[in-house]
Structure 1
Amino acid sequence: MSAGSGIVLFRNVEIVILVFFVITTLLIISLFAYLQEAVSPPYLVSIITALVLIAGVAIAKLSIEPLREHFDQLEHFSREILHELNLPINTIMTNTAMLKKNIEDERALKRFHRIEAACGMLEERYKELDYLIKKQMQRERIETFDVADLVVERLRLLKPLYSNARFEEDLESISVNIDRIGLAKVIDNIIDNSVKYSPKNAEISIVIKNKKLSISDKGRGMDEVELFQIFDRYYQSDESDLGFGIGLGLVKNYCDRYKIKLHVNSKKDKGTTMQLDFSGVA
């Protein structure tokens, strides 16, 4: 969230507190005057109202100031973390590329390819963190792009990391006008889960047809109870699995935001298909 949007947020909260205070106080005064059947001079009402407004503003500011200070510190800390992440990632990628030029051993080259792929993933996580911060700033990058091109781009990055997985692709063109970085994150999460919950030699099918993107695996699958819980934040079907179980929750939030219909079809020990239906996207 930017400083500008943060100011708007706090101003709105201050206004709510102020309005609530003023309305409550005026109601109490009116009720008291009615019960006492007091006849007060006209200027007295104006004085009381002015005092109520001043008190309301003061209370609103005192209530919000600690939160505003904490927010400013958090925003500064987030930007510092982003800067600190960017430097080592660029350093690793640059030096790896230079060292690889002098390597002829095939095994060593494969290791360098893994380092590059892992560093590419770190760079993607950096972009995701930057994306989440910009999302809070309400500055998402809405652009027109081809979903098939984005899938190809993501697979080019992910395949070296999932060397034991086999991917089958059948991609038709879909032109959409939505947040590209967010959709890339959604695709990464679904593919990662497909590989994670599949046997060692995972078989992943990715199909785009009739404005629908389907990602299928032949992994452990889920029963009906698990299907009801998979989008709950921090839910994990197996507590021994690594990770925090927040990926599918983010997937659902993104799809809801951009009116993408999300369908999940899964059977225990048979595999899972996750489908993104873009037919409703403006």
Structure 2
Amino acid sequence: MKNKFRALYPGIHYVLLGLLLALVGGLPGILFSKDLSKILHNEYVGWYLVYWFIITAIYVLIVIYFRRKRIEKPVKEMCEAAKKVANGDFSVYLNPPKDSYDYIQDMYNDFNHMVEELGSTKTLKNDFLGNVSHEFKAPLAVIKSYSNALKTGSLTQEEQQKSLDIISESADNLSTLVTDILRLNNLSNQSILAEIKKVNVSRQIADAALLLEPYWDEKGIEVEADLDDSCEVFSDEEMLSIVWNNLINNAIKYGKENGKIWILSKTVDDGIIISISDNGIGMKEEVVNHIFDQFYQGDISHRQKGNGLGLSMVRKIIDKVHGTISVTSTYKKGSTFSIWLPKNIGDYNR
């Protein structure tokens, strides 16, 4: 009963407004009349009231119609759609009413965008769980297979050593996967950086390159570095270290034998710029578009060397430190990752 009254309540407002208009419309005749008693006893007053009653009724009906069409009906439709979304249906899409108010259309567009984002989040979550399961199954299957082979005792000493090496490598891959997943989880949940201090980025990049020297030396890759010693920022040292290790490692992994890697750092007015390039296999456009997605590995031939989390982690870290990262690549010619970092991350955390 209360809901019905509330539904009629706005209509009562319009009725009262109409009656007020009727009274206002009669005021000139009353004010300028010489004999008020004649007006009250005149039949004209009765017809006048009937006339304004009809006008008011028409006015109220028109207002209620447009109000229902432009406001109540869209809001009710949105409420019903919201219930479907709450029950897990992310396929809901509302067509914005063309004859409604601008703010109603904006609400519809925002609602559709929200549902799309929620649907994407759910899809990403499902894909993430599926990918994690797959990434765990692969090395576990290898470990189990070679462990069973070792149990038989029929392998030669050389075959046993090879099996043990493969088991050890698979265990390392599992360990790396777990570490990367934990790091990604921490990055997603961490709203405040652990420690902000002055970081010499050029020195940090040089250390990362030297740490990976055995790998690029093994492939005969030449590393050319043009590092500006004045490239210093106030940021999270540990996080930035993860970025350089991942990017240089990728340049080695996807670089060609006897190829070349270029590393550049320089200071600009509003921060520093770092670029890491290689003349390796490069990437096609569709790979570039997804290169920062979790578990995405564009080159099938290199999937055994990584888990597809490295660049996703790099992107999250760069976002955390309020920097930007972009990639340009030409298939079979090489790739370049470009990073911009602000000089002081503290300016963004105030």
What's the TM-score once normalised by structure 1's chain length?
A: 0.51
Count of residue correspondences = 168
CA contact 1:261–1:278 (8 Å) conserved in 2: yes
The residue that corresponds to 2:288 in the other structure is: 227
User: What RMSD in Å do the two structures reach over aligned CA positions?
Assistant: 3.2
The residue that corresponds to 2:62 in the other structure is: none
Aligned positions of 1:81-100 closer than 5 A: none
The residue that corresponds to 1:150 in the other structure is: 204
Give CA-to-partner distance per residue, 1:191-221, whole Å, 9 cap, x none: 1111111112231110112321110000111
CA contact 1:195–1:202 (8 Å) conserved in 2: no
CA-CA distance at 1:141 after TM superposition: 2.5
Distance in 2 (CA, whole Å) between partners of 1:162 and 1:133 is: 30
C-alpha change, 1:252 and 1:132, in structure 2 (3 Å) is: closer
Please give the secondary structure, in 1, of the residue aligned with 2:214.
coil
The residue that corresponds to 2:168 in the other structure is: none
CA-CA distance at 1:129 after TM superposition: 8.9
Matched, 1:166 2:222: yes
5+ residue gaps in structure 2?
7-171, 346-350
Give CA-to-partner distance per residue, 1:148-195, whole Å, 9 cap, x none: 110111122111232132110110121111111111111111111111
CA contact 1:223–1:268 (8 Å) conserved in 2: yes
Counterpart residue identity of residue 322, structure 2: K
5+ residue gaps in structure 1?
1-29, 35-120
The residue that corresponds to 1:187 in the other structure is: 244
CA contact 1:259–1:281 (8 Å) conserved in 2: no
CA contact 1:259–1:280 (8 Å) conserved in 2: no
The residue that corresponds to 2:324 in the other structure is: 261
Aligned positions of 1:4-153 closer than 5 A: 140-153=194-207
Query: What is the aligned-residue identity percentage?
Result: 30
CA contact 2:234–2:343 (8 Å) conserved in 1: no
The residue that corresponds to 2:300 in the other structure is: 239
CA contact 1:221–1:268 (8 Å) conserved in 2: yes
The residue that corresponds to 1:207 in the other structure is: 264
Please give the secondary structure, in 1, of the residue aligned with 2:263.
strand
Matched, 1:178 2:225: no
Give CA-to-partner distance per residue, 1:7-47, whole Å, 9 cap, x none: xxxxxxxxxxxxxxxxxxxxxxx98xx9xxxxxxxxxxxxx
Matched, 1:276 2:339: yes
Larger Rg: 2
Please give the secondary structure, in 1, of the residue aligned with 2:216.
coil
Distance in 2 (CA, whole Å) between partners of 1:246 and 1:129 is: 8
C-alpha change, 1:281 and 1:142, in structure 2 (3 Å) is: closer
CA-CA distance at 1:223 after TM superposition: 2.0
Please give the secondary structure, in 1, of the residue aligned with 2:286.
helix
CA contact 1:261–1:280 (8 Å) conserved in 2: no
Please give the secondary structure, in 2, of the residue aligned with 1:162.
helix
The structure whose RCO (Cα within 8 Å, separation 6+) is larger is 1
What's the TM-score once normalised by structure 2's chain length?
A: 0.42
Please give the secondary structure, in 2, of the residue aligned with 1:189.
helix
C-alpha change, 1:269 and 1:239, in structure 2 (3 Å) is: closer
Distance in 2 (CA, whole Å) between partners of 1:223 and 1:259 is: 28
Distance in 2 (CA, whole Å) between partners of 1:271 and 1:200 is: 13
Distance in 1 (CA, whole Å) between partners of 2:288 and 2:253 is: 17
C-alpha change, 1:248 and 1:132, in structure 2 (3 Å) is: closer
Distance in 2 (CA, whole Å) between partners of 1:196 and 1:269 is: 14
Distance in 2 (CA, whole Å) between partners of 1:166 and 1:244 is: 26
Counterpart residue identity of residue 140, structure 1: A
CA contact 1:134–1:140 (8 Å) conserved in 2: no
CA-CA distance at 1:224 after TM superposition: 1.6
CA contact 2:180–2:309 (8 Å) conserved in 1: no
The residue that corresponds to 2:56 in the other structure is: none
